[in-house]
Amino acid sequence: MPMTASQVCVIIAARNAAGTIPAAIASALREPEVAEVVVVDDASTDDTGHVARAADDGSGRLSVMRLDVNRGPSFARNAAIAGSRSPFLSILDADDFFLEGRFRTLFASADWDFAADNIMLIRDDTATDVSKIVAPSFSADPEFLDFERFIEGNISRRRVQRGELGFLKPVISRAFLDRHGLRYDENLRLGEDYELYARAVACGARFKVIRSCGYGAIVRADSLSGRHKTQDLKRLADADLALLEIESLPEGSKAVLRRHERHVRDKYRLRNFLDVKAERGMASAAAYALASQSNLFPIVWGVAADKLDALFRHAGLSSKQQQVPPLRFLMAGTSAVAEK
């Protein structure tokens, strides 16, 4: 770095993404730094695999793998890592796209193991031809994320537009992953990026972020990431407990990690309460809530907050923050500029 040859493998895990994957593939093949685009068709029931192959530009850089059983994004990405050779890896969701020149900007310096840029979040009902979308110009303002800053940046808050740092899509050094034996946790179908990044930073990864924008994400109400199961929340909270076993973590880092674990676990308890209520009735749900204070407090608070939000919406008093704009940016510091 700066790069003189194509050295990036773009990994696209796809399930039932026939309508969006051509644009994703085209945006990756457009970048001269990209040596490989590996699409993993995760047991799609539509024409994802066929459509992906049809998006080949003839350069020999595209390959498509097919999984006959749906195994989730972590398994699919690990399969792509194992089947590729480039020294740098870049994850691209099947309904997202790269902005032109993304890798040129990220590879302008060589002082990182993970390098992420800002994400342009575009509401799906306003997205048109993504190949023509250009981000406003922002100062890079580079910074490095330490463990506590990263974990803290993944604790969401009610009535605040989501912008967790686990949503970032960094370019990743394969050498760093191999040196520390890191891969995606295949038990996770939610928060798999967060867990990998957290474990990497705990291992000493230099995680650089810049505020200039090179990644476009289409925000869809029916996206796979928005349809996670209740047990996915429990697995993510359990992953935090596993991270707490890292002996080298200082106590301050562990304290922030415990906060994140409680945050996710409380979401799980509320979702599980609602599931029990729907499946077995209010009496069973109440028994679950009253089984412990650990259950009761987040359930009572969550139900009350949900009802209050519903009341505000009915009265037309929803906060401005709840109204998702057509275009915004993930990292603070640019959204105010972009939405003027």
The residue assigned the tokens 């999984």 is: 67
The per-residue pLDDT for 255 is 98
Q: What is the pLDDT of residues 107-142, one digit of tens each?
A: 999 899 999 999 999 887 666 677 778 777 888 889
H or E segment and range at residue 91: strand 88-91
Mean pLDDT of the chain: 89
The per-residue pLDDT for 33 is 97
The per-residue pLDDT for 332 is 53
Residue 161 confidence class, pLDDT cut points 50, 70, 90: low
Better-predicted residue by pLDDT, 316 or 68: 68
Q: What is the pLDDT of residues 242-297, one digit of tens each?
A: 999 999 999 999 999 999 999 999 999 999 999 999 999 999 999 999 999 999 99
Mean pLDDT of 298-326: 70
**Which of 15, 28, 92, 93 lies closest to 55 in space, CA to CA?**
28
Q: Is the pLDDT of residue 23 over 90?
A: yes
Q: Is the pLDDT of residue 337 over 70?
A: no
Tokens standing for 72? 């989730």
Mean pLDDT of 94-104: 95
133 and 120 Cβ atoms separated by less than 8 Å: yes
DSSP SS3 for 234: helix
Residue 334 confidence class, pLDDT cut points 50, 70, 90: very low
Q: Which of 42-46, 149-153, 221-225 has the lowest mean pLDDT?
A: 221-225
DSSP per position, 7-49: -EEEEEEESS-TTTHHHHHHHHHT-TTEEEEEEEEES-SSSHH
Tokens standing for 119? 């994400």
Residues constituting the chain: 340
Residue 317 confidence class, pLDDT cut points 50, 70, 90: low
Give burial (CB, 10 Å; 0-12/13-18/19+) of 176. Answer: middle
The per-residue pLDDT for 126 is 65
The per-residue pLDDT for 328 is 84
CA–CA separation, 190 and 75 (whole Å): 12
DSSP, res 283: H
Mean pLDDT of 40-52: 97
DSSP SS3 for 99: coil
Q: Are strands 8-14 and 207-219 parallel, antiparallel or unpaired?
A: unpaired
Q: Is the pLDDT of residue 339 over 50?
A: no
Q: What is the pLDDT of residues 180-215, one digit of tens each?
A: 999 999 999 999 999 999 999 999 999 999 999 999
Q: Are strands 171-173 and 327-329 parallel, antiparallel or unpaired?
A: unpaired
The per-residue pLDDT for 310 is 72
**Which of 63, 42, 49 lies closest to 21 in space, CA to CA?**
49
155 and 194 Cβ atoms separated by less than 8 Å: no
Residue 10 confidence class, pLDDT cut points 50, 70, 90: very high
Mean pLDDT of 6-15: 95
Please list the alpha-helical segments (H only) found in the chain.
21-29, 48-54, 73-82, 102-106, 147-152, 174-180, 192-202, 230-243, 251-280, 282-290, 293-314, 335-338
